[in-house]
Amino acid sequence: MNIQLSILCPVLNERAYIDKLTETYFTTDGIQKEVFFIDAGSNDGTKERIIELQSTYKNLHLID
């Protein structure tokens, strides 16, 4: 299936919310998506958690 929607989401210290946000992006509706989290220098583990989530969500990308 081809990507139908690209989502760009800037994040800064969002570790507490990143799991739910990612799940919501990928489980709503039937549209094939790719998500780009743009980390703006988080120091709470946000970037590391996004990297972990990439093993579950193949269309999840991190821009650091």
Q: Mean pLDDT of successive 10-residue segments in the chain (64 residues)?
A: 92 98 90 96 98 97 97
Residue 61 lies in a domain: yes
Residue 55 lies in a domain: yes
Domain that includes residue 24, residue range: 18-28+42-64
Residue 53 lies in a domain: yes
Give pLDDT, residue 29: 83
Which 3 state secondary structure label does DSSP give 50? helix
Residue 59 lies in a domain: yes
Give pLDDT, residue 28: 79
- DSSP, res 43: -
Give pLDDT, residue 20: 97
Name the nearest CA neighbour of 40 among 16, 63, 18, 12. 12
Residue 8 lies in a domain: no
pTM, to two decimals? 0.91
